[in-house]
Amino acid sequence: METLTIRELRNHPGAAQEELARAGELLLTNNGRPVALMLAVDSTNLEETMEVVRRAKGQLALKKLRRQAANQGLDQLDLEAINQQIDATREERRK
What share of the chain in percent tops pLDDT 70? 100
Locate the domains of the chain by residue range: 1-40, 42-95
- Alpha-carbon distance of 91 to 74, in angstroms, equals 19
User: Stretch 52-77: mean pLDDT, rounded?
Assistant: 94
Compute the average pLDDT of residues 22-51: 94
Give pLDDT, residue 84: 93
pLDDT confidence of residue 88: 94
Three-class secondary structure of residue 58 per DSSP: helix
**CATH class of the domain at 1-40:** alpha beta
Nearest to 5 by CA among 33, 30, 25: 30
Q: Is the pLDDT of residue 95 over 90?
A: no
Mean per-residue pLDDT of the chain? 94
